[in-house]
A and B are shown apart, each in its own frame.
Chain A
Amino acid sequence: MDTTVVNTDAREKVWGGGNQPLKASYGKMMMWFFIVSDALTFSGFLAAYGFSRFKFIESWPIADEVFTHVPFLHGQEHPMIYVAFMTFILIMSSVTMVLAVDAGHHMNKAKVTLYMFLTIIGGAIFVGSQAWEWATFIKGDHGAVQTKGGNILQFVDAEGHRVKLADFVTAGTHERVQQERKNGLWFVSEGSLPTYTMDEVIAGFEANPNLSIRTQLLDEHGHKTILPREEALKQLKTNGKKVVEGANLHSNEYGSPLFADFFFFITGFHGFHVFSGVVINIIIFFNVILGTYERRGSYEMVEKVGLYWHFVDLVWVFVFTFFYLV
C-alpha cells in the first residue's frame, strides 16, 4: 500500500484513503471486530445464565457437588481438580500460540512450526476433556426423583452423604416397554426408560430406615435442606413423579433443568469455538510447513489466528468462573 499512496498527500486529505490511524492491517482489524461481536454473543449467554440463576438463587445446584470426577479415579470426589487441569491446558496452548507469533516476527519457520503443533495438541486435549466432562455429566452418578412441580429430590443417608439409587433400590421385572417410532402409535417415540420405577424407589426407601431426602432448597449456610424421614416419605409418595438418572435437556438429577440446559449450551458453544480454532490452526500449520508465509515475507496470518485462539481462552476463563467457581 505504501508504494501506491503518496504519504504527504494523504496527510492533507484525511478522508482520501491511505491513512492507517489505528496502525493495524485490515485483516487484524477485522479479526478484532469479529472478536468484539463474538464477545458480546458470549456475554449475552453468560448474562442469561446469570438471569436464570438469580431467578432460582435459593435452589441452584452446587457446582462442587456436580463436577467431582477425575478420569481413572473412580468413585472418588475431587471437585475442581479436572476443570483446573483443563484451564491450565488452555492457558498453556495460548502460551505456545503467542510464542509461535513471536517466532513468526523473527521469521523463524522451524520454531513457528513447533509451537503451532504444540498449540494444536493443547486444543485437542482440551476438546477431548470437555467431551469426557459432558459424558460424565450426561451419565450422572447418583440418580434422583423429580416431583410434580419439577423439583429434584436426592437421597442421603443419616450423615447427609449422597446415596445412589442402585444402592437401595432393586429393579423388578418391568411390564412397560419403551415406545419406538416403528411400533405402537406411528412415528411417536419416547426417551429411554429409567432403570427403576417410582414404586420400586418408594419400596427401597421404606426398607432402609436410615435414608432421607435432600431438596433443592439451600439453607442459610449454602447447604441443601435435608427433610426429616416422615416428611421425606410423604413427599416421595404424594409428589414423586419420575426417576431421573443423569442429565438431558428436559430434566437432570442435579437440580433445575435450566442448569443442564445452560451447561450444554454455553460449554457446547465454547467447545465448538475450540474445535473450529483447532481446525483453523491445522490449516495455518500446514501453510507454515509449505512455506506460504515464508514466501509472503510475513507471518501475520499466524498472528490473526492467534488472536482468535487467545479469545477462545479468554472466554473459557469466564465460563470457568461462572460455571465452576461462583
Chain B
Amino acid sequence: MAHAHKLSILRGTVKFKSNTQKIWGVLILLSIITAVEVALGIYKPEALKTHFIGMKLLNWIFIILTIVKAYYITWDFMHMRDETPALRRVVVWTAVFLICYLVFILLQEGGYIESVYKNGFVKRDF
C-alpha cells in the first residue's frame, strides 16, 4: 500500500515535511480559527452588527469560518485531499447541493411565517 500524502495546505503557501507535521499544522490552524470565533462571540464588536444579505455581518463571519474549519477537517483529517477527484466530487457536491437546497427552502419559509405573525394576519399570543 503506497500512501502518497499531499503535504501542502493553503494553496501551497504552507508546505510540510511529513504527514505528522501537517496534522499538527492543521491543528494550529483550526485552533486559531476557533479562538477567533470565540473572541468574536464574547466581545461581539458593534461594527460587525450591521445587516448584510438578511443577517448580521458577524453571523456571516461565523458561518464562513465554520465552513473553512469543515474544509480542513474533511480535506486533511479525513484525507479527502488524497482521494481521487471523482470520489471527492461524489461526496462533496452531493452534500453541498442538497444542503443548499434544504437551507434555502426552510429559511425562506421561516422568514415568511415570521412576516405573517408580525403583520398581524395571525394572532398567536393571547
Chain A: residues with CB nearer than 8 A to chain B?
A: 21-24, 29, 32, 35-36, 39-40, 43-44, 47-48, 50-58, 64, 79-81, 84, 87-88, 91-92, 94-95, 97-99, 101-102, 105, 147-151, 222, 298, 303, 306-307, 310-311, 313-314, 317-318, 320-321, 324-326
When the two chains form the complex, which single residue of B62, B99, B102, B111 contacts A54, counting CB atoms closer than 8 Å? B111
When the two chains form the complex, which single residue of A44, A57, A64, A102 contacts B23, counting CB atoms closer than 8 Å? A102
Given A88-B31, A99-B20: A57 in contact with B114 (beta carbons within 8 A): yes
- How far is A298 from B2 in the complex, measured between Cα atoms in Å? 12
When the two chains form the complex, which single residue of A23, A40, A150 contacts B84, counting CB atoms closer than 8 Å? A23
Given A310-B78, A317-B69: A21 in contact with B107 (beta carbons within 8 A): no
| Chain A residues whose CB sits within 8 angstroms of the CB of B79 once the complex forms | 101, 303
Question: Are the CB atoms of B110 and A149 closer together than 8 Å?
Answer: no
Question: Are the CB atoms of B125 and A94 closer together than 8 Å?
Answer: no
Question: Are the CB atoms of B126 and A317 closer together than 8 Å?
Answer: no
Question: Are the CB atoms of B77 and A98 closer together than 8 Å?
Answer: yes
Task: A43-B95, A47-B103, A94-B77 given; name 14 further pairs at CB < 8 Å.
Answer: A22-B83, A24-B87, A36-B95, A47-B99, A57-B111, A58-B114, A58-B118, A79-B42, A91-B27, A149-B126, A303-B79, A311-B78, A313-B73, A314-B74
- How far is A44 from B95 in the complex, measured between Cα atoms in Å? 11
| Chain A residues whose CB sits within 8 angstroms of the CB of B34 once the complex forms | 84, 87-88, 91
B18 nearest CB neighbor, chain A only: A102
Question: Are the CB atoms of B23 and A32 closer together than 8 Å?
Answer: no
Interface 0/1 of B37-59, CB less than 8 Å to A: 11011100000010000000001
B94 adjacent to chain A (CB < 8 Å): yes
- How far is A52 from B111 in the complex, measured between Cα atoms in Å? 9
B1 adjacent to chain A (CB < 8 Å): yes
B91 adjacent to chain A (CB < 8 Å): yes
Given A317-B66, A317-B73: A43 in contact with B31 (beta carbons within 8 A): no
Given A22-B87, A24-B83, A314-B70: A56 in contact with B114 (beta carbons within 8 A): yes
Question: Are the CB atoms of A326 and B62 closer together than 8 Å?
Answer: yes
- How far is A43 from B96 in the complex, measured between Cα atoms in Å? 10
When the two chains form the complex, which single residue of A87, A148, A314 contacts B126, counting CB atoms closer than 8 Å? A148
B98 adjacent to chain A (CB < 8 Å): yes
Most B CB contacts (10 A, CB to CB) among A44, A98, A149, A313 go to A98
Question: Are the CB atoms of B124 and A43 closer together than 8 Å?
Answer: no
